[in-house]
Amino acid sequence: MPTPHIEAKEGDFAPVVLMPGDPKRAEWIAKTFLKNPKLVTSVRGILGFTGEAPDGSLVSVMASGMGMPSIGIYSHELYTSYGVEAILRIGTCGSYQKDIGLKDIIIGEGACTNSNWMGEHSLYGGTFSAIADYQLLEMAVDATREKKLPLHVGNILSSDTFYDYRPEAWKKWANLGVLGVEMEAYALYANAATLGKKALAICTVSDSFLFAKELSSQERQEGLTNMVSIAMDVAMKYNACRTK
Ligand code: HPA
């Protein structure tokens, strides 16, 4: 126990972890949504907390940093050294489709990538399709419907770049029905698959490739709150299933 990038002790993490990119957001989520949140790690400013969800069950929140290498490190160490069973990524994404508005929720049923994340996995030239855990996916769809929030479920792109210098590249993915772009889900899903664990990415749309409207800070906050409350519901549903 402590791992190269996490200083928590054995038993410090709950079996289910909510994972935003930004450490400040992890702190805000822990202090807003959990009772008695305890800081369990802060290596490199990547904050992790464990506390009680509204139903009393234990839930952790830890930041992933940005991009696949970063979430790859933290998810691997949580899954392999801290007994974590399920990671729920919560983050923003850009929308690729005209019927998807700002603040809508996108759940990544699958993730494509322009990275070489699984390229060295001796698949004899084949490609790996990264998919969400179906149990978590179903729970998240139910939770979003219960809250009557606008929901899109499908493929997302986990991109290595935020600034892509090929202005038309995104259209190739959009034409394949990909809903939007973020930078982490593929690596998280691939690590979960490799290690026999569970993962799901829940995103709120922060920008669109088709229209130029920007979110106000109040709308941004609402989008974030909606996404966290869905993820917290999934965490509680998951905890309830494991204790049955
Ligand atoms: N690209 C990649 N990641 C993102 C974006 C984007 O446009 N918006 C929010 N996360």
205 lines ligand 1 (CB under 6 A): no
In the numeric block, which tokens belong to residue 26?
A: 């992890």
Could you give all domains of the chain from N- to C-terminal order, each with its CATH number? 16-242 (3.40.50.1580)
Q: E strands within 79-231?
A: 86-95, 105-113, 130-131, 151-158, 180-182, 198-208
Q: Is 93 in the pocket of ligand 1 (CB under 6 A)?
A: yes
- How far, in Å, is the centroid of ligand 1 from the Cα of 158? 9
Q: Note the residue count of the chain.
A: 244
Q: What is the pLDDT of residue 125?
A: 82
At residue 226 the predicted structure's pLDDT band, cuts being 50, 70 and 90, is: very high
The region of weakest confidence among 59-63, 88-92, 103-107, 209-213 is: 209-213
Going by alpha carbons, the residue nearest to atom 10 of ligand 1 is 93
CA distances 24 to 45, 47, 176, 234, Å, are 9, 8, 35, 22
Percent of the chain with pLDDT over 70: 100
- The answer to whether residue 207 is catalytic is yes
233 CB under 6 A from ligand 1? no
